[in-house]
Amino acid sequence: MVLAHIEGGPSPLSPITCSQSGNTLADTLEKMGHASKYPAIKALMRPDPSLKWTVLALVLAQLLACWLVRGLAWRWLLFWAYTLGGCVNHSLTLAIHDISHNAAFGTSCAARNRWLAVFANLPVGVPYAASFKKYHVDHHRYLGGDGLDVDVPTRLEGWFFCTPTRKLLWLVLQPFFYSLRPLCVHPRAVTRMEVLNALVQLVADVAIFALWGLKPVVYLLASSFLGLGLHPISGHFVAEHYMFLKGHETYSYYGPLNWITFNVGYHVEHHDFPSIPGCNLPLVRKIAPEYYDHLPQHSSWVRVLWDFVFQDSLGPYARVKRVYRLAKDGL
């Protein structure tokens, strides 16, 4: 079903603050019991051998597109950047998400995962894979944590983007907010991997410009900006953790867009078992349907975006925000 607003939902004027743990379906003990009851779930915690090949195919597809768009008119370049490149680049960012959980080569080969993420980053145009890994760990560890989970919009975002027009603008500018918010909310020291990620990306961008000119570079950047902004696939940014129904902060989506997004729609399942790669998340629900089928879920990411813009109860403030001792003490 498509989730609808109910009275008593989150106020668009103030953030929701909660002191509970960040788990979405069950606490650690319940998860252990779940895995014990269904030993097959533990068997799903293994690398996805096809992930590296899928990433390779997507990167090569964007390189081919770079060659093809070099002579296109600008209007057609932007059209293909939105319709094709936006889908591919967004898909690559979700591959990077899966790789950040060591889904490609397993935890014993962490370096291979990091470098595959850097490779998947190339068509995105700007370096972000290494930084994403660094901050995404905190998103799982401190879900909704004030000053820790940089997925939660800032107070300024919640205060300003509170009308339909402004919320629409916020959706368009999502790539900038996701890129800049960590620097404001939880700045951390630059790592060696981030420097290497930036250098590799710079070399790739310069090489594409030297080979084919400016238009392919613009195509890649536009693909990322448009594909991560107001785009049907971007509905997952809002669908995952915005409080559409009071008492539920994490939602799954089981529709066809999962086919091109590494099953990121299975988000409750992902937060329960982040070590299970996206390809296996549908099996989690199939093995233990009684844990998931009764939960509210989204049936359309496009409808999610529509409701986010036009429902007064939804906006950047419609998130659960928790205060963790770590953030409070500044440790």
Q: What local confidence, expressed as pLDDT, does residue 6 receive?
A: 26
| pLDDT band per the 50, 70, 90 thresholds, residue 11 | very low
How would residue 28 be classed by pLDDT, with cut points 50, 70 and 90?
very low
CA dist 51 and 57 (Å) reads 10
Q: Are 214 and 267 in contact (CB under 8 A)?
A: no
Q: Is the pLDDT of residue 43 over 60?
A: yes
Dist CA 205 CA 214 (whole Å):
10
Residue where the block lists tokens 């982040």: 274
* Domain ranges, ordered by start, for the chain: 46-150+186-231
What is the chain's mean pLDDT, rounded?
88
- pLDDT classification of 324: cutoffs 50, 70, 90: confident
At 178, give phi and psi (nearest 5°).
-70, -30
Q: What pLDDT score does 15 carry?
A: 38
**Residue-level pLDDT at 247:** 86
Please state the rounded mean pLDDT for residues 105-127: 97
Mean pLDDT, residues 138-163: 94
| Average pLDDT of the residues in 105-119 | 96
181-214: pLDDT as tens digits: 999 999 999 999 999 999 999 999 999 999 999 9
Rounded Cα distance between 254 and 257, Å, is 8
Residue with the bigger pLDDT between 23 and 216: it is: 216
- Region 108-134: mean pLDDT is 97
Q: Which of 29-38, 217-226, 288-297 has the lowest mean pLDDT?
A: 29-38
34 band by pLDDT with thresholds 50, 70 and 90: low
Residue 237, burial from CB neighbour count under 10 angstroms (0-12, 13-18, 19+): buried
Mean pLDDT of the 113-139 span = 96
